[in-house]
Amino acid sequence: MRFKTGTALTVIAVMMASQGLANEELREFALEMFSPLPSTVPALNDNIVTPEKVDLGKALFFDPRMSASGVFSCNSCHNLATGGDDNMPTSIGHGWQKGPRNSPTVLNSVFNEAQFWDGRAPDLAEQAKGPVQAGVEMANTPVNVIATLNSMPQYQEWFRASFPEDDDPVTFDNFARAIEAYEATLITPAPFDAWLNGNDAAMTEQEVRGLSAFLNAGCASCHSGVNLGGNGYYPFGLIEKPGAEILPEGDKGRFAVTETVGDEYVFRASPLRNIAVTAPYFHSGVVWDLKVAVEIMAESQLGAELSEEEVTDIVAFLGALTGEVPEVTYPVLPAETASTPRPTGEVIVE
Amino acid sequence: MRFKTGTALTVIAVMMASQGLANEELREFALEMFSPLPSTVPALNDNIVTPEKVDLGKALFFDPRMSASGVFSCNSCHNLATGGDDNMPTSIGHGWQKGPRNSPTVLNSVFNEAQFWDGRAPDLAEQAKGPVQAGVEMANTPVNVIATLNSMPQYQEWFRASFPEDDDPVTFDNFARAIEAYEATLITPAPFDAWLNGNDAAMTEQEVRGLSAFLNAGCASCHSGVNLGGNGYYPFGLIEKPGAEILPEGDKGRFAVTETVGDEYVFRASPLRNIAVTAPYFHSGVVWDLKVAVEIMAESQLGAELSEEEVTDIVAFLGALTGEVPEVTYPVLPAETASTPRPTGEVIVE
């Protein structure tokens, strides 16, 4: 690895520069940067997770009638069959419109510090309210969502069971809370977790080498914590701006949230769990090859040119972050009634 | 019930005219018209059903990458969460285009004599090839489907396990066979089956009255067999043509298949299993209320005006055809590779 420009990140590189650390030393250092997934669902802010709420949230997550057209559910763009995302550069939504940014995986997303590429939602409940209302995504309104839910007695019953203390449980806030509770269960323990937990055999030699290279290069400066990312904001192109195709000029990232000049082209560091099964990469979704993505990151964020071997090893390590998706029984949803609002594919231009 | 015009169908009505048949007599007669669902998956033409093939078929059924855009899977329009259909008048497909006819349920479809509203596919394997290629639906090509499947080693392995005797198992025919095998397992035993099998308590009194009224009115002339329909072709508007909204002039039904004048506006009689959860109704999908659909059928097909009570009872009976959907574990699909064709939402106008 050669650093093209000096950076504070090289501190870590220096720390790790002595190659061939024993597994135990490497693990000790890794545990300072990362945490294995917990074996239980984390506590949520103002949202107690109960089995009833998780079941309701699952139904809502898979229900395409939460969109105006009846075409899209949460699962459409955060598909649990394909890594918790949709494997497209940017999602296709209502009226065949294209979303502005690549759809992030829902898997382990509960461990992100904030949601969306620009972190504009503090938690998954707040996040869940976004796409439902976005004109280019599900194009629905809270009023219509609630009317839809209230039209089906089964949903009313599920909301009562999920929010037993509420007089009027079918609300848009509770809709979002239930989805958050379900999503909080979507945790995917990976070989890396087993390795962090002390099982040397859980990762191959190459994957361990890749972890070393990952730390050595300084990737963990931004990609750390439980999700190896998702916990901080950094300018894309910290050292060297990537091309406009990868970093389109029009999307200034977190600047739109904070309106602070320093936040131009700042994005939340991508969480790296399941990264190997969630191509294409970056908020622009234009890079399909994980190897290329690693090279771009090294150059733009670290000013480093990694050797062919380092890149290959890092990609192998990233593969060890592919976890086991919890078994999901596909829900059978309540049937519409006479009062259920009818689906409409109409595109309203405001 | 008053018949407005004489018809051969009244024969059955006369047979059943003596009200208050004992349950046993009614069952005996019903068993001449209908059959309960079998407890096992039926044999398929040139397609042995194995667990490997069913699993492969399930993966294909749920895989949105079988569409050109990556948006639609078989399950999009035949959603197992919502009665095996999409609860829309006509489906929305590639490029936000509208399909020409209401999407029929996949549940129990293996028992239909032929597939599609006009019966143009003799079986589910042939059917499966249609929407994948239809420009307004999944807009894909067999070549691209096979390239997509061959790009993922896991799919290759699944095809080898499903078609162990084939040298080159990843073919479009085998793709369709696997989907057919999976769909053949989607059988939903209902209270009516339990009743046909001898359990008097399986249907309420009203549902039994509805069955009587259904037979009395002559509905079973077309809606008979295992699926209470799906086994014959009849002109929509046999006695009285419904309005153009319900029977659009442009869609001449089976005429497009046979090019026989007698087949103008002829459609396959709808299978009635799960009809209560698969609104809206008819090939045009414009009627949302099952009661209204029953009234339209009585008038247009039987020339009969049913009493309010008869209609309500028949609707209750139709509710007893809502079956239990088999438990489906949502599949985890193979991840794309470098050689997987990229999704494209582009609409090609020919």
3-state secondary structure chain B: CEECCCCCCHHHHHHCCCCCCCHHHHHHHHHHHECCCCCCCCCECCECCCHHHHHHHHHHHHCHHHCCCCCCCHHHHCCCCCCCCCCCCCCECHHHCECCCCCCCCCCHHHCCCECCCCCECCHHHHHHHHHHCCCCCCCCHHHHHHHHHCCHHHHHHHHHHCCCCCCCCCHHHHHHHHHHHHCCCCCCCHHHHHHCCCHHHCCHHHHHHHHHHHHHCHHHCCCECCCCCCCEEECCCCCCCCCCCCCCCCCECHHHHCCHHHCCEEECCCCCCHHHCCCECCCCCECCHHHHHHHHHHHHHCEECCHHHHHHHHHHHHCCCCCCCCCECCCCCCCCCCCCCCCCCCCCC
Q: What is the pLDDT of residue B20?
A: 47
- Min CA distance, B333 vs chain A (Å)? 5
Q: What is the pLDDT of residues B55-65, one digit of tens each?
A: 999 999 999 99
**Taking 60 as the threshold, does the pLDDT of residue B279 lie above it?**
yes
Whole-number Å distance between alpha carbons of B300 and B217: 13
Chain A hits for B79, CB-CB cut-off 8 Å, are 64
Q: What is the pLDDT of residues A162-212, one digit of tens each?
A: 999 999 999 999 999 999 999 999 999 999 999 999 999 999 999 999 999
Least confident of A2-11, A111-120, A223-232, B193-202: A2-11
- Confidence label for B11 from pLDDT (cuts 50, 70 and 90): very low
Contact between residue A203 and residue A211 where contact means Cβ atoms under 8 Å apart: yes
Whole-number Å distance between alpha carbons of B104 and A145: 25
- Which of A330, A333, A339 is most worth mutating to test chain B (most B CB atoms within 10 A of its CB)? A330
**Taking 60 as the threshold, does the pLDDT of residue B86 lie above it?**
yes
Which residues of chain A are at the B interface, by a Cβ-Cβ cutoff of 8 Å? Answer: 62-65, 69-71, 76, 79-83, 86-88, 92, 95-96, 98, 276-277, 279, 288-289, 325, 327-333, 335-336, 338, 342-343, 345, 347
Q: Chain-wide mean pLDDT for chain B?
A: 93
**Taking 80 as the threshold, does the pLDDT of residue A52 lie above it?**
yes
Q: What is the mean pLDDT of residues B126-155?
A: 97
**Taking 80 as the threshold, does the pLDDT of residue B271 lie above it?**
yes
Q: What is the pLDDT of residue A22?
A: 76
Listing DSSP states for A77-146 in one string gives HS-TTTTTS--SSS-B-GGGPBPSSPPPP-TTGGGSSSBSTT--BSSHHHHHHHHHH-TTTT---HHHHH
**Alpha carbon separation from B142 to A119, B137, B172, B176, B343 (Å, rounded):** 41, 14, 6, 11, 15
Q: What is the pLDDT of residues A118-153, one digit of tens each?
A: 999 999 999 999 999 999 999 999 999 999 999 999
Q: Chain-wide mean pLDDT for chain A?
A: 93
- Confidence label for A348 from pLDDT (cuts 50, 70 and 90): confident
| Percent of chain A whose pLDDT exceeds 90 | 88
Q: Which residue has the higher pLDDT, A2 or B25?
A: B25
Here the tokens at position A197 are 């937990």
Q: What is the mean pLDDT of residues A262-284?
A: 95
| Percent of chain B whose pLDDT exceeds 70 | 94
Q: Cβ contact (<8 Å) for B81 and A62? A: yes
Task: Supply the residues of B annotated as catalytic.
Answer: 137
**Taking 50 as the threshold, does the pLDDT of residue A8 lie above it?**
no
Q: What is the mean pLDDT of residues A74-87?
A: 98
Of B71, B288, B330, which is closest to A81 when you measure between CB atoms? B330
Q: Cβ contact (<8 Å) for B329 and A333? A: no
Task: Write down the ipTM of this complex.
Answer: 0.93
* Cα nearest neighbour of A334 on chain B: B82
**Taking 90 as the threshold, does the pLDDT of residue B26 lie above it?**
yes
- Min CA distance, B88 vs chain A (Å)? 7
Q: Which residue has the higher pLDDT, B184 or B17?
A: B184
Q: What is the pLDDT of residue B1?
A: 53
Q: What is the pLDDT of residues A295-313, one digit of tens each?
A: 999 999 999 999 999 999 9
- Confidence label for A277 from pLDDT (cuts 50, 70 and 90): very high
Q: What is the pLDDT of residue B21?
A: 57
**Taking 60 as the threshold, does the pLDDT of residue B152 lie above it?**
yes
- Which of B136, B281, B330 is most worth mutating to test chain A (most A CB atoms within 10 A of its CB)? B330
**Taking 80 as the threshold, does the pLDDT of residue A9 lie above it?**
no
Q: What is the pLDDT of residue B51?
A: 98
* Cα nearest neighbour of A92 on chain B: B71
Q: What is the pLDDT of residue B2?
A: 52
**Taking 60 as the threshold, does the pLDDT of residue B17 lie above it?**
no
Closest alpha carbon to B108 in B50, B215, B217, B192: B192
- Confidence label for B80 from pLDDT (cuts 50, 70 and 90): very high
pTM of this prediction exceeds 0.90:
yes
Q: What is the mean pLDDT of residues B97-113?
A: 96
Chain A hits for B83, CB-CB cut-off 8 Å, are 335
Q: Cβ contact (<8 Å) for A81 and B331? A: yes
* Cα nearest neighbour of A72 on chain B: B76
**Alpha carbon separation from A27 to A21, A192, A215, A221, B22 (Å, rounded):** 9, 10, 11, 17, 77
* Active-site annotation holder among A52, A137, A180, A310: A137
Q: What is the pLDDT of residue B348?
A: 81
Least confident of A115-119, B35-39, B89-93: A115-119
Query: No. of H helices and E strands in chain A?
Result: 13, 4
**Taking 50 as the threshold, does the pLDDT of residue A7 lie above it?**
no
Here the tokens at position B283 are 């090939």
Q: Cβ contact (<8 Å) for B92 and A79? A: no
